[in-house]
């Protein structure tokens, strides 16, 4: 069993944190990395992923499941945190919505199970990515009436939600790829070959960015919010895993892989969106780092016991 990639992800997070500690990076550098990721490496990885994708209509059911797996926890967090400040509510809503499939779940499960896992991850991630690249940020800012970086404008919430979602280049690319897939239009192999070097940098930048944002404070409030978030994330992951295993009409092998996919960590962009909404980037990145470690342990252990 090749564990080199999961271990590499942990080492990249540690490297980012250490390099910030010694002064090589500053916390503000994460903004530049986020811009590079959102406008170059992540869109490229989306296109490359779809260029190698084999259309399977029986798996289209995973698209709405991937979407709802993020939206439902966000809505529950919205109602469960009504008495908390907006910044804290944004922290919970953003970090419970969706999973890191492209930079973590896909490469890890691909390493463990090969092409079968690739197809399942890609189909689930179509719906999940709508949340991760723009949907969770748009829904959170709209539902909490947050206007990052500017004056408040009187815009209907639905219009505002659509504006924020479709202003995301990543989401535009994902939706374009989904439309091409629905009509069974193949992306030329040359496009995937050309973009592969950029796409390959996506996981590196994402994990390094999480490390740069990482901070740990041994005070009661800091630790309490992190523990609550991790437990809530794992709780929703358990519920999703049970649904994947007992409710879906797929083969036993497919359902076992989907169970492990349910335990993918918190999305890499959640920390950046948390900062944009005035929340604690330190808490979000710390929780993200811990969730990566938890996911590696659960996925590797699960692959041993389930297969």
d(CA 243, CA 293): 23
> How many domains does the structure of the chain reveal?
1
Longest distance between any two alpha carbons in the chain, whole Å: 55
Which tokens in the block code for residue 113? 């199970």
Does this model's pTM top 0.85?
no
Return the CATH number at 222: 1.20.1530.20
What lies within 8 Å, CB to CB, of 172 at 6+ separation is: 166
Domain of 68 in residue numbering reads as 4-306
Instruction: Please give the chain's pLDDT, 307 residues, in tens.
Output: 566 777 787 888 899 989 999 999 987 888 888 889 888 988 888 788 778 777 778 888 999 999 999 999 999 999 999 999 999 999 999 999 889 887 788 878 877 787 788 788 888 988 898 888 778 888 898 899 887 665 555 565 566 667 666 677 877 887 888 788 888 888 888 998 999 999 888 888 888 887 887 777 778 888 999 999 999 999 999 999 999 999 999 999 999 999 999 999 998 789 888 988 888 888 998 998 899 889 988 988 898 888 7
């Amino acid at each position: 069993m090749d564990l080199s990639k999961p271990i590499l992800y942990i080492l990249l997070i540690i490297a980012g944190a250490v390099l910030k500690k010694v002064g090589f990076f500053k916390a503000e550098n994460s903004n530049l990395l986020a811009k590079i990721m959102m406008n170059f490496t992540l869109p490229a990885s989306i296109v490359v992923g779809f260029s190698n994708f084999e259309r399977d209509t029986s798996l289209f059911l995973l698209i709405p499941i991937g979407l709802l797996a993020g939206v439902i926890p966000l809505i529950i967090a919205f109602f469960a945190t009504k008495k908390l400040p907006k910044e804290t509510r944004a922290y919970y809503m953003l970090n419970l919505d969706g999973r890191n499939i492209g930079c973590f779940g896909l490469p890890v499960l691909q390493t463990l199970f090969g092409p079968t896992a690739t197809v399942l991850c890609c189909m689930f991630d179509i719906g999940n990515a709508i949340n991760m690249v723009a949907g969770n940020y748009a829904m959170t800012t709209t539902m909490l009436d947050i206007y990052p970086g500017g004056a408040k404008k009187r815009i209907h919430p639905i219009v505002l939600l659509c504006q924020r979602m479709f202003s995301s280049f990543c989401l535009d690319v994902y939706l374009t790829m989904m439309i091409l897939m629905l009509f069974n239009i193949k992306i030329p192999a040359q496009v995937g070959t050309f973009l592969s070097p950029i796409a390959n940098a996506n996981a590196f930048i994402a994990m390094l960015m999480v490390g740069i944002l990482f901070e740990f404070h041994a005070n009661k409030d800091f630790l309490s919010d992190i523990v609550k978030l991790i437990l809530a994330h794992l709780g929703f992951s358990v519920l999703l895993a049970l649904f994947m295993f007992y409710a879906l009409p797929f083969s036993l092998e497919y359902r076992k892989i989907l169970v492990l996919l349910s335990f993918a960590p918190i999305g890499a962009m959640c920390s950046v969106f948390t900062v944009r909404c005035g929340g604690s980037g330190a808490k979000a990145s710390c929780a993200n780092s811990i969730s990566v470690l938890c996911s590696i342990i659960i996925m590797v252990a699960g692959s041993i016991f389930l297969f």
